[in-house]
A and B are shown apart, each in its own frame.
Chain A
Amino acid sequence: MNHDDIAIAIENLEYVYQPHNVKAVNGISFSVRWGEFVGIIGQNGAGKTTVLKNILGLLTPTSGRIIVDGVDTRQTTVADLATRVGFVLQNPDQQLFAQTVEEEIAFGPRNLMLSEVDIQERVEEVIALTGLDQFREEFPPALSKGDRAKVVIASVLAMRPKIIILDEPTTGQDYKGCHQIMQIAHRLHEEGRTVLVVTHHMALVAEYTERTVVLCQGGILLDDATDVVFSQPETLRQTHVAPPQITQLAQALPRELGLPANALTVPQLGDSILSGGHT
């Protein structure tokens, strides 16, 4: 394997939680190339969060290894990994602590011993990217849930990580909040960043990611282009996942209509219907 184009290489990762000896990850291998936008899905307890924690160095593999940005996670520190991988937790409130949005965002860069000028440059950059300009002087906990999540994302981005991991970023977010967060992820991907998102929102996976890794009971069930993954509803069922409703509809339609069997989004199926099928 050529490691130059690999952002994260997971090699035979096994993880067992003690003291109950619960095997959460069962010898899995997959790689994420630089610049990919990957969705990770699977039932509750499939091992998604455990894999993430191993990537971040918060857990050490029971066996196997993970190479992040060329570095073996077992041979470096969480602090070092934190400069390579930005991590957005599911619950923004576990991650916020400063008095203003600006201070919250500046905290990470300040810890990198950057000059005030450099810190300010980073703060401005991520405020613009996440659309937080009007809130820069606000007390983070007083913001709406969607805006609190954006502050967390901005704080993570201020570290300029090459890899960004979002763990169920849309849980508890309303419809608007979900799309705002995924739009930011989309923009990061377009800028060339490597983005991993763990989520149960299949419509968002379908709309935004190009590749999806499906975990099931600590193993990999599927790993393929997102449309190929969602074309296998029976396999997905094993890990308690169903394709987005629009894909289920596309799959249920009579094939002779000539509509795409695995449409991933509402406009995709809608436009095919408008052109009378047979596309």
Chain B
Amino acid sequence: MNQREPYIIFDDVSYRYPRTRRYALKHLDLTIYKGEFVTVLGENGAGKSTFCQTLNGVAPHSRGGRMRGRITVGGLDTQETTVAELAQKVGIVLEDPETQLFTTSVLSEVAFGPENVGIDPQEILRRAEWALEVVRLTGYEDRAPTALSGGQKQRLAIAAALAMRPAVLALDEATSQLDPIGTVEVFSVIRELNEQYGMTIVMATDKGEEVAQFADRVLVLHEGELVAQGTPREIFADTGLLERVMIRAPQVSQLAIYLQERDTPLADFPITVDEAGRGIVQLIGGAN
């Protein structure tokens, strides 16, 4: 990335929900660049979902509560822009797909967003078919969303967001119910969209192994504060951080830390299976 264009800017943002004194987000200062793939890690209650919901203005517009500081997305101040307007820039996929699906067929679910912004019917159909293909739901067009399995519902919610071709796609634990290979597939698809269309990705997740493989940068939230940010390798190698904040590092990184704590570090800190394999061969193979 040579010319990095700041796209999402948090300027000293604090936010609290109505009827509570506790801030869900505290003094966030950060920039997300156009075309970046950013993941948000943190324990339950760290503020990850709230963070995602500030991007399309749902917090504070629909949630109420009080926001201080300023968030701009693609130059729009989220507090001065309606959710409807922001929704054309930011697609959001929620954690529980049941809260998001409401039509009677898979096809109409995916078409709903584009229909509401007055896109040409032929184009709506093309986009819907494309989005369903991307999430591997082709053939399910006439099924009722309620008749899908949990994982299929999650894929459908992602397709519905994709059909809007948003500049930013925010995903809140959107792969939590997917099987292991399905999870990798969704991450790959999102990486492809990110690379092909320059779609900016903000993804709250706890899947450390996929984060290591696919993300450019990790933000770590803890009790509403941004306590660390860096590449996946910087984050997963930070043993002090991992002790303070319970986030799931890839198992190969956990292994490296296990060995390190027993005075047998690998030469280079691994975050993928290949890297760990090379390190172990060097460690044992070299000694034999």
Residues of A within 8 A of B (CB): 17, 20, 22, 42-45, 49, 90-91, 144-146, 168, 171-177, 200, 202-203, 237, 239-242, 244-246, 248-249, 252-254, 257, 259, 266-267, 269-270, 273-274, 276-277
* New contact pairs (7) apart from A144-B44, A175-B206, A252-B277, CB-CB < 8 Å: A49-B149, A174-B42, A174-B206, A177-B44, A239-B179, A259-B280, A270-B258
List B265-288 residues whose CB lies under 8 Å from chain A: 273-274, 276-277, 280-281, 283-285, 287-288
Measured CA separation A144–B22 after assembly (Å): 14
Measured CA separation A246–B149 after assembly (Å): 28
Measured CA separation A119–B182 after assembly (Å): 44
With CB as the reference atom, state the residue of chain A lying closest to B212: A245
Measured CA separation A250–B45 after assembly (Å): 34
Residues of A within 8 A of B180 (CB): 200, 202, 240-242
With A246-B255, A253-B277, A267-B258 already in contact, the answer to whether A44 and B44 are too (CB < 8 A) is no
Residues of B within 8 A of A (CB): 42-45, 95-96, 143, 147-152, 173, 176-184, 206, 209, 246-248, 250-252, 254-255, 258-259, 262, 264, 273-274, 276-277, 280-281, 283-285, 287-288
Cβ-defined contact, A274 with B209, below 8 A: no
Cβ-defined contact, A252 with B273, below 8 A: yes
Q: Which residue of the partner chain, among B45, B178, B283, B288, contacts A200 with CB atoms under 8 Å? A: B178
Cβ-defined contact, B152 with A45, below 8 A: yes
Cβ-defined contact, A174 with B273, below 8 A: no
Residues of B within 8 A of A172 (CB): 44, 95, 173, 176
Cβ-defined contact, A273 with B284, below 8 A: yes
Residues of A within 8 A of B152 (CB): 44-45
CB distance from B180 to the nearest CB of A (A): 5
With A200-B177, A274-B259 already in contact, the answer to whether A245 and B250 are too (CB < 8 A) is yes
With A45-B149, A174-B206, A237-B181 already in contact, the answer to whether A249 and B277 are too (CB < 8 A) is yes
Cβ-defined contact, B44 with A145, below 8 A: yes
CB distance from A55 to the nearest CB of B (A): 18
Residues of B within 8 A of A173 (CB): 44
Measured CA separation A59–B149 after assembly (Å): 16
